[in-house]
Amino acid sequence: MNSYKIEAGTAQHIGNRPQQNDRAAVFSGSRAPGYMLAVLADGVTGGAAASEQVLHTAKLLFDEFKPGDAPSVERLSGLLREIVHETHLVIKLNAVATGTEQHCTFAALIVTPAGQAVWAHVGDSRVYRFQKAECKMRTGDAGYIDYLMETDRLPAEAARNHRHSKLLVNVLGNSRKEPFVAIGSHEALKAGDIFLLCTDGLWHFFTDAELGAVLAKNSPRQASEMLINKAGERAQGKGGNCTMAIVKLVAPPKEAPNYKVQKMGRAV
């Protein structure tokens, strides 16, 4: 039995943009009791349609997932890759039908009843893991840069500048290149582990230490309100969409003693 309970939630703010193109959700699996999927997407071009498709596909495939006995990290990673590639295909087909190319980032996290966490990301939306207030991991572009240097034979500087190239940008829906999915995992989850999935409208304004301090001391709802408000202040009227999903593992409440109620005798 796990020595923690899960507190989770999502939050978003439009920032200083004309519309909200980000989406985030937390799902339980219809055929996977005790499993949880958090997913987030940032619509880069074409509005919110691509982000909406991420959530739709993620829920559909997660509801179909049957874990069996103790699925491996590889199998859970395969589910996240399947969500990415199925969504990527649908977004490209929609672009052909509408004549408008749609792009979005992707970040997702699976937490299992066996104390496993597996995450994936595409693009510049991030996944963080904290142990209490200390940042133990955050996703980045290093894996994709190495991939470009190895598969496309690009020099290091050209690979680092991939966001400036329509050919090389790593997003879902790019008709010129398949998305590169970076995968990570952690075993033996325990109370004090905290995961944050967020778009660049949030992480751009905070250090790892600041994020960890707020998440460790507050509930997901309280933390999201504080972070959104502070991001708005620091953006100084130039902030983008700000979206996050927070998954916090906390110690369960202590059981109350099993008192017996007895009738008191009358005092004489």
Instruction: Average the pLDDT over 132-136 and give the result.
Output: 98
pLDDT tops 90 at residue 12? yes
pTM above 0.85, yes or no: yes
Band (70; pLDDT cuts 50, 70, 90): confident
Residue 147 has what pLDDT? 77
Residue 184 has what pLDDT? 97
Q: Helices 208-217 & 220-235, crossing angle to 10 degrees?
A: 140
- Out of 82-96, 131-145, 252-266, which region has the weakest mean confidence (pLDDT)? 252-266
pLDDT tops 50 at residue 18? yes
Residue 267 has what pLDDT? 43
- Out of 156-160, 255-259, 261-265, which region has the weakest mean confidence (pLDDT)? 261-265
Residue 92 has what pLDDT? 96
Burial 162-191 (b: 16+ CB within 10 A, else e): beeeeebbbbbbbeebebbbbbbebeebee
All structural domains of the chain: 5-250 (3.60.40.10)
Residue 264 has what pLDDT? 46
Burial label, 99 (beta-carbon count in 10 A; 0-12, 13-18, 19+) = exposed
Top-confidence residue, 163 or 161: 161
- Out of 16-30, 78-92, 159-173, which region has the weakest mean confidence (pLDDT)? 159-173
DSSP bridge pairs for 187: none
Top-confidence residue, 256 or 182: 182
